[in-house]
Chain A
């Protein structure tokens, strides 16, 4: 792949690299969230006035909304102290726009990415990697031929500058307005980084577009925003991986994802997340699917202290389809509350939700889902399947599949299983030569196989590897 790498060096961020080079010291916002902080962030990014206005409006909404506490069985958020978070920290490198070569990344970052197999993914011809170190994109890579087709894949901050009209139209206006929930409002105020993906009509991006996010210092939040616009009859698979090592202080991650799936278009959004065990992972992700469009969410939620994540799809046009595949794993002290939301707002719409969760060492997983079928969405169908696997009697797993069905001419199916990992199953595998740990790992790998099957091989491997590490207890 060296020829690609050479190509990449010439594209993209060279100019910005030069321009920002003199700014050596990293900018660090002061602790505490005030209008002043927002203005400083926006000014530092050199944002247009409208974006500052949106941030300030979101901040006001955030300040007015109470902390959500009234969901049955929701994770405890009382320790989320937003004022303690320094929301915006630049990477400790002397560029703003990023680097084009792995060699230019600090060793420590290279190491972490190496361990997680990113360079391998690169070698194996995946199309583009945007690696976010702290709040900034430090590595951007995109193939030229996409640019020729009009495909845009860049970091969100740059999109605000270079694709202003599109961003202005779609950014937190239609799918995820700041008023959606307190953390969406927070996100709207202090978002930073993330990816912007634009696929023109009739265009298929046949290699997955991928980005990689992580947090890397105490007391910092991560609020990346991903905006994907797939025009009519286009097709794209976007993959986002998140991973973070262990920290001593708490962290908050509150990302936002908005996906617009045009008529007949097909978008798959896959994510493997592995937040450190002190992170509160509170995200808002939503897609709007037009006529005959297909939206697919594939999520692997690992790590974090508490996660609340319910990717949702609004099936707006007739014949639109949604597929959700989610996996969650909770260990000691973790509360992973994930699920899916689907709104069937047109006839002939279809959704399938498949959720798998694993709880061990006293961890808790909860599937919380909502399927809403509006009056008039006739001949729609939905199928929800949740399976939970527990390692021991100390762990818990709950299922809360809400259904709001206003239309009578629909097909609704729901199935849930909760089970403990079987001693007999473990013994069976052991009797064939696998040790106790390997036997359990094999059972878990099999349990989540429907997920890994959906992922490109490098990500499937990584997910399995993360779970393996998790089970060995070697991740913090």
Chain B
């Protein structure tokens, strides 16, 4: 069980005189839940997503982004001590956040030439697991691990750079390929994807599918999906939706789904719907709220929020 908690989050663009974008966002997403975050363009949805993941372009001026982890969040063999169950993500690098179970599916995923999917995903998975060990080990262990890491570095790659180092990392090449094949099958992805370069030349839909695939491999505690439904045709929307539901049902991932449209919510039914306006969550409710938006737009919420203020 894990909970991502945003408390009174204020943020601006990280430059002198940067525009203020978030003005006190409160949100909580727990394992197994599906939340939809909706709102007009420029209301701060994507910024919220990026700040959760640690994007350097934004500066948090007030508030907290916390993750609360249950004792067995990372499996029964991985006991999380009492004092390490809550983390302030704002103190951590993006990769450390990933190690604590945070995942962001990008609206516009980067294209990385020359790096095969299989190499990238295995490297990422092992990096995440390694970082997690480091975050949770106590200080004596830390010194030991550092000495060990130095030795490993000196050894260098011993296998193909295409596949990455064979004997490095928790998940070996063979084991990983099996895992990857299984997850790709679930998403109805062609196995040739594994050898393609990361997002390079992918269609919009393939990129989105790939984001869900990455989440399936990395098994996050909480996944923020930034407009995963944009640019998808109906077949792919169904594949992607199936992937998201599987993530929730099989991994217990909590989902924060940012979207403009009701359409994906027909396939990925939210437990909670939140409406963002001008950098704040102004209204929360059940799935019926999304339907109401679809019919009536945002004006009534704007009025309601205005009256309340």
A interface with B by C-beta (< 8 Å): 115, 117, 120, 422-425, 427-436, 438-439, 442-443, 445-450, 452, 457, 460-461, 464-465, 468
Residue from the list B106, B112, B159 in contact with A442, Cβ < 8 A: B112
In the complex, A448→B161 CA distance in Å?
11
Which residue among A117, A433, A435, A446 has the maximum number of chain B CB atoms within 10 Å of its CB? A433
In the complex, A452→B119 CA distance in Å?
15
Q: Are B98 and A431 in contact (CB under 8 A)?
A: yes
Which residue among B57, B97, B125, B157 has the maximum number of chain A CB atoms within 10 Å of its CB? B157
In the complex, which residues of chain B have a beta carbon less than 8 angstroms from the beta carbon of A429? 110, 112, 120, 124
Q: Is B127's beta carbon under 8 Å from chain A?
A: yes
In the complex, which residues of chain B have a beta carbon less than 8 angstroms from the beta carbon of A438? 123, 127
Residue from the list A428, A434, A447 in contact with B109, Cβ < 8 A: A428
Residue from the list A424, A433, A436, A461 in contact with B110, Cβ < 8 A: A424
Q: Are A446 and B95 in contact (CB under 8 A)?
A: no
Q: Are B156 and A433 in contact (CB under 8 A)?
A: no
In the complex, A457→B165 CA distance in Å?
12
Q: Are A431 and B54 in contact (CB under 8 A)?
A: yes
Selected A-B contacts with CB under 8 Å, 16 pairs: A115-B154, A428-B109, A429-B112, A430-B95, A430-B98, A431-B95, A433-B98, A433-B125, A435-B93, A436-B93, A442-B112, A443-B112, A449-B113, A457-B160, A461-B160, A468-B156
Residue from the list B56, B124, B160, B197 in contact with A432, Cβ < 8 A: B124
**Closest-CB distance, B218 to chain A (whole angstroms):** 7
Residue from the list B98, B109, B115, B156 in contact with A449, Cβ < 8 A: B115
A sample of 8 more A-B contacts (CB under 8 A), given A428-B106, A433-B124, is A423-B56, A429-B112, A431-B97, A432-B95, A442-B120, A446-B198, A457-B160, A461-B161
Q: Is B55's beta carbon under 8 Å from chain A?
A: yes
Q: Are A435 and B95 in contact (CB under 8 A)?
A: yes
Residue from the list B115, B128, B154 in contact with A446, Cβ < 8 A: B115
Which residue among A432, A439, A446, A464 has the maximum number of chain B CB atoms within 10 Å of its CB? A432
**Closest-CB distance, B209 to chain A (whole angstroms):** 16
Q: A442-B120, A461-B157, A464-B161 are in contact. Are A428 and B110 (CB under 8 A)?
A: yes
Q: Is B69's beta carbon under 8 Å from chain A?
A: no
In the complex, A425→B156 CA distance in Å?
24
Q: Is B280's beta carbon under 8 Å from chain A?
A: no
Q: Are A434 and B124 in contact (CB under 8 A)?
A: yes
**Closest-CB distance, A463 to chain B (whole angstroms):** 8
Q: A442-B120, A442-B123, A457-B160 are in contact. Are A432 and B214 (CB under 8 A)?
A: yes
In the complex, which residues of chain A have a beta carbon less than 8 angstroms from the beta carbon of B95? 430-436, 439
Of all chain B residues, the one with the shortest Cβ separation from A433 is: B128
In the complex, A141→B112 CA distance in Å?
41
In the complex, which residues of chain B have a beta carbon less than 8 angstroms from the beta carbon of A457? 160
In the complex, A52→B94 CA distance in Å?
65
In the complex, A435→B135 CA distance in Å?
13
Residue from the list A120, A430, A450 in contact with B94, Cβ < 8 A: A430
Which residue among B94, B106, B120, B125 has the maximum number of chain A CB atoms within 10 Å of its CB? B94
Q: A432-B214, A433-B131, A445-B161 are in contact. Are A425 and B112 (CB under 8 A)?
A: yes
In the complex, A428→B131 CA distance in Å?
17
**Closest-CB distance, A459 to chain B (whole angstroms):** 10
Of all chain A residues, the one with the shortest Cβ separation from B214 is: A432
Q: Are A435 and B115 in contact (CB under 8 A)?
A: no
In the complex, which residues of chain A have a beta carbon less than 8 angstroms from the beta carbon of B103? 431
Contact flags B61-99 to A (C-beta < 8 A → 1, else 0): 000000000000000000000000000000001110111
Q: Is B258's beta carbon under 8 Å from chain A?
A: no
Q: Is B53's beta carbon under 8 Å from chain A?
A: yes
In the complex, which residues of chain B have a beta carbon less than 8 angstroms from the beta carbon of A115? 154
In the complex, which residues of chain A have a beta carbon less than 8 angstroms from the beta carbon of B36? none
In the complex, which residues of chain B have a beta carbon less than 8 angstroms from the beta carbon of A430? 54, 93-95, 98
Q: Are A432 and B218 in contact (CB under 8 A)?
A: yes
Q: Are B112 and A460 in contact (CB under 8 A)?
A: no
Interface pairs A-B: 3 shortest CB-CB? A446-B114, A449-B114, A433-B128
In the complex, A225→B94 CA distance in Å?
50
Contact flags B146-168 to A (C-beta < 8 A → 1, else 0): 00000000101111110000000
Of all chain B residues, the one with the shortest Cβ separation from A428 is: B110
Residue from the list A434, A435, A445, A461 in contact with B156, Cβ < 8 A: A461
Q: Are A433 and B127 in contact (CB under 8 A)?
A: yes
Q: Is B240's beta carbon under 8 Å from chain A?
A: no
Which residue among A439, A446, A457, A460 has the maximum number of chain B CB atoms within 10 Å of its CB? A446
In the complex, which residues of chain A have a beta carbon less than 8 angstroms from the beta carbon of B56? 423, 427
Contact flags B113-146 to A (C-beta < 8 A → 1, else 0): 1110000100111011001000000000000000
In the complex, A219→B131 CA distance in Å?
45
Q: Is B22's beta carbon under 8 Å from chain A?
A: no
In the complex, which residues of chain B have a beta carbon less than 8 angstroms from the beta carbon of A434? 95, 123-124, 127
In the complex, A424→B57 CA distance in Å?
10
In the complex, which residues of chain A have a beta carbon less than 8 angstroms from the beta carbon of B154? 115
Q: A442-B123, A445-B161 are in contact. Are A431 and B94 (CB under 8 A)?
A: yes
In the complex, which residues of chain B have a beta carbon less than 8 angstroms from the beta carbon of A120? 158
In the complex, A393→B246 CA distance in Å?
44
Q: A117-B156, A427-B55, A442-B112 are in contact. Are A452 and B123 (CB under 8 A)?
A: no
In the complex, which residues of chain A have a beta carbon less than 8 angstroms from the beta carbon of B106? 428, 431
Residue from the list A435, A443, A460, A464 in contact with B127, Cβ < 8 A: A435
**B window 11-58: CB within 8 A of A:** 53-57
